[in-house]
Amino acid sequence: MLPTAPFGRTGHDSTRIIFGAAALGAMSQERADATLAAVADWGINHIDTAASYGASEDRLQGWLATNRDTVFLATKTGQRDGTAARAELETSLERMGVDHVDLIQLHNLVEDDEWERAHAPGGAVEALAAARDEGLVSHIGVTGHGLRIAGMHIRSLERFDFASVLFPVNFILLDNPSYRDDVDTLLAMCADRDVAAQTIKSIARGRWGDAEGKRFSWYEPLTDADAIGRAVRHVLSDPRLFLNTTSDARLLPMIVAAADGDISRPSDEELRADIATHGITPLFAKDLERI
């Protein structure tokens, strides 16, 4: 059985494996339905999508028509101005055929100018708070990528009482002392304020090289089951963290298998051996953080 934990102060006990519905974005409806059936069979009760994830929200509509009450439903808006954020939220509700979402997240809020616009009067934060008051959303969160994002989340939590944050975590990223310090500070703040901490990129191998073939995520994921298992357990061994699954749905069974049982942390020696064996490299560097 998959482990569960309170998702911050939302009142929902979420599976610590969260289905990253970006995986549905380029799927046929038939394949999306089969994927969602598997998600339900595994007992995953938290789905994370976004307005920008291709057809993901559309693919969810039929399944949500009969399963809405069984899941915590999260989406995201990339808009920073209030009017545009409200419009994108309303479009998301229409696409999914629901009257509310449990969590709306400001998507990848990392650049200073965008942060200022989102938090300014008339910005996205104000508009989403109003939508919360109207019952269109229950909670508001913030997400992001890159080595600056943990620090930016600290800044965001100091400005607004977000219910959740989302940021990248894997062993090689946390080997960066500056990023690790920011993550430690962020997690302490989340614990103090009962804010849910979601992670992404747990099984990232690195950026794509010249290899040919189909790509189902913007980064190259690990594909070895044992290495995936260690990467997943590295995250879930910290009880403060939730793990959002990769957009490569072919890897979902391995991720779920790794979480369904012993989730004790692998040793540093095992994780460093995986770096060497599988050629794992950091996803982010200062000159690449806008991606």
What tens-digit pLDDT sequence spans the chain (291 residues)? 999 999 999 999 999 999 999 999 999 999 999 999 999 999 999 999 999 999 999 999 999 999 999 999 999 999 999 999 999 999 999 999 999 999 999 999 999 999 999 999 999 999 999 999 999 999 999 999 999 999 999 999 999 999 999 999 999 999 999 999 999 999 999 999 999 999 999 999 998 877 666 777 878 999 999 999 999 999 999 999 999 999 999 999 999 999 999 999 999 999 999 999 999 999 987 544 444
Q: Looking at this protein, which amino acid is placed at residue 280? A: I
Q: How many CA atoms lie within 13 A of 99 on its CB side?
A: 3
The predicted pLDDT at position 219 comes to: 85
Paired strand residues for 81: 123
- pLDDT reported for residue 291: 40
pLDDT confidence of residue 285: 75
Q: Which helix (H) or strand (E) holds 152?
A: helix 149-159
Find the distance separating the first CA and the last CA of the chain, reported in whole Å: 36
**Joined tokens for residue 175:** 């080997």
What local confidence, expressed as pLDDT, does residue 287 receive? Answer: 43
Kindly tell me the burial class for residue 66, based on how many C-beta atoms sit within 10 Å of its own C-beta (0-12, 13-18, 19 or more).
Answer: exposed
Radius of gyration of the CA atoms of the chain, in A: 18
Please report how the helices 124-133 and 82-96 are oriented relative to each other, as an axis angle in degrees rounded to 10.
Answer: 50
User: All domains of the chain, ordered by start, with CATH?
Assistant: 4-288 (3.20.20.100)
Task: Give me the pLDDT at residue 82, please.
Answer: 98
The region that residue 156 occupies, defined by phi over 0 for left and psi between -120 and 50 for alpha, beta otherwise, is alpha
Q: Is residue 227 helix, strand or coil?
A: helix
What three-state secondary structure class fits 209?
coil
Predicted structure pTM score: 0.96
